Amino acid sequence: MATPNPVLKPPVHAPYTDAVVTQEPAYQQVDGAYSDSGDEEGDDGGEGIGLISCASPVKHHQEPYCLIEYATFLLLGVAMLWAWNMFLAAAPYFQTRFSDNDRILASFQSAITSVSSATNLLSMITLMHMQSKASYPKRILASLALNLAIFALLAISTTYFRGVLAETYFAFTLLMVLGSSVAAGLCQNGAYAFAASFGRPEYLQAIMIGQAIAGVLPSIAQIVSVLAVPELDKYVDSGVAVLAAANENTTSALIYFTTATVVSALCLVAIIPLIRKHSQLVEDRDANTTISSEEEVERSKRKVVSIWTLYKKLHWLAAAVFLCFVITMFFPVFTQKIVSVIPEDEGPQALKPGSFIPLGFLLWNVGDLLGRLSTFVAYPDGASYRRPIMLFLFAALRSGFVPLYLLCNIENHGAIINSDFFYLGVQQLFFGISNGWLGSYCMMDFSQYVDEGEREAAGGFMALNLVAGLTVGSLLSFSAAGVH
């Protein structure tokens, strides 16, 4: 990919050349599905949705592929999930801040997850119903600015206001989580819609890869921090060890929150030229119109598309991405319980729970990243979007990964398959690969089934299904919380 020329031919993505898609679909369109022209059937109670396929791929305009634009969307994907990962990575710091209140200490992680999931989903639903006057670039800018402010406040709170009660800091933390979740909703809705407007599946894939990178880096940081800190309680009395650990957690949290602030700021700067270019493209495309405002031009061309209309066109892909992330959300519950089959007093430091558990998260996230990257190097000539039902079936088959966790060493109660390699190198890695591969294809393919004026709404709709899958999966995963 390294080249001095920023405008490149799309890499081995045969169906995504600047020419329109001309392949014949590998299936017959069913009654009630959509034709290539996008004409709708069934809006007024007529034909129902097709039970065998999504609509046929639609011919529409694509902007030329550009490596700089790809990199910008990748950074946007990193920023989209970096904030949430920083909340997870800072869990030891929050334990320090809430240590004098047992009730909050026992429930703060569940509270953060619940507030985040519910707020994110409600934000996505609300934004999905605000299409007609939506400015997706402004939603992206607002989300980045909001995250920048939130994590700057969190970074400041690690040093100042240390004397506040645990209840007060808990309320402050939940308020920050709520604000960050609103920002995540704005970013997910705006980013997928904005990327879809270019008509380049590669840009949607860039967002997905950026999200995977945002999962890998914090896991590496956690492992390094555990291995780098000596076991203080072996050398000093426990009181000093506790104080040293608290200081270490505070320093780590300051780094996490500051990093989230910097990532948001960098993305905010990087996205502005792309938004300006997009506005110029809209202005050039509509130079003969009587509407003077570029933003009004874009809004005037945008169709207000109902969720039901989008579902009839994208039902298999929407169901696939929803089910994919419902199943995926079982992995954090088990990963934080599974430890090495090698006894703690016999194995090296890397196999002790403090580093082994982050290692489990790392292997899953590495697999997720590899799965997303695989769609970049070997897109199978459009085969996936000619068979969306196959993606749904693959999503359903992923449920087979969940019971495999029961074969591992959950909470040190013994493993049926007595092997760390099985857990790390098979279960975690391939569960992650399947998530990255499937999620990326679902989010790359949807723009091929909608008209050009429906791309942005379709991007928001698919993002809504993704977030809904995460939320439902989080709720269902509580049923696995008591497994040991």
Query: Domain 305-484 - what CATH class?
Result: mainly alpha
Answer whether 453's CB lies under 8 Å from 134's CB: no
Per-residue pLDDT band for 15 (boundaries 50, 70, 90) equals very low
Answer whether 452's CB lies under 8 Å from 285's CB: no
Measured distance CA(476)–CA(346) in Å, rounded:
36
Measured distance CA(223)–CA(359) in Å, rounded:
7
> Does the pLDDT of residue 89 top 90, yes or no?
no
∠ CA 335-90-340 to the nearest 5 degrees?
25
Measured distance CA(14)–CA(103) in Å, rounded:
57
Q: What is the pLDDT of residues 117-150, one digit of tens each?
A: 889 989 998 988 887 677 889 999 999 999 999 9
Q: What is the pLDDT of residues 158-169, one digit of tens each?
A: 988 888 999 999
**Domain limits, the chain:** 64-302, 305-484
- Stated pTM of the model: 0.73
- b/e per residue 452-469 (b: at least 16 CB within 10 A): bebbbbbbbbbbbbbbbb
Q: What is the pLDDT of residues 343-359, one digit of tens each?
A: 877 767 777 777 888 89
As a whole number, the mean pLDDT across the chain is 78
Cβ contacts of residue 121 below 8 Å, gap of 6+?
A: 185, 467, 468, 471
Per CATH, 64-302 and 305-484 having the same topology is answered yes
- Helices 455-477 + 166-196 axis angle, to 10: 140
Whether the CA torsion 161, 166, 167, 172 is positive or negative: it is: positive
Query: Cβ–Cβ contacts within 10 Å for residue 391, how many?
Result: 24
Nearest C-alpha neighbor of 434 from the set 364, 338, 358, 360? 364
Q: What is the pLDDT of residues 182-221, one digit of tens each?
A: 999 999 989 988 888 887 888 888 999 999 999 898 888 7
Query: Domain 64-302 - what CATH class?
Result: mainly alpha
The SS3 of residue 256 is: helix
Measured distance CA(394)–CA(397) in Å, rounded:
5
Q: Give the amino acid at 426.
A: V
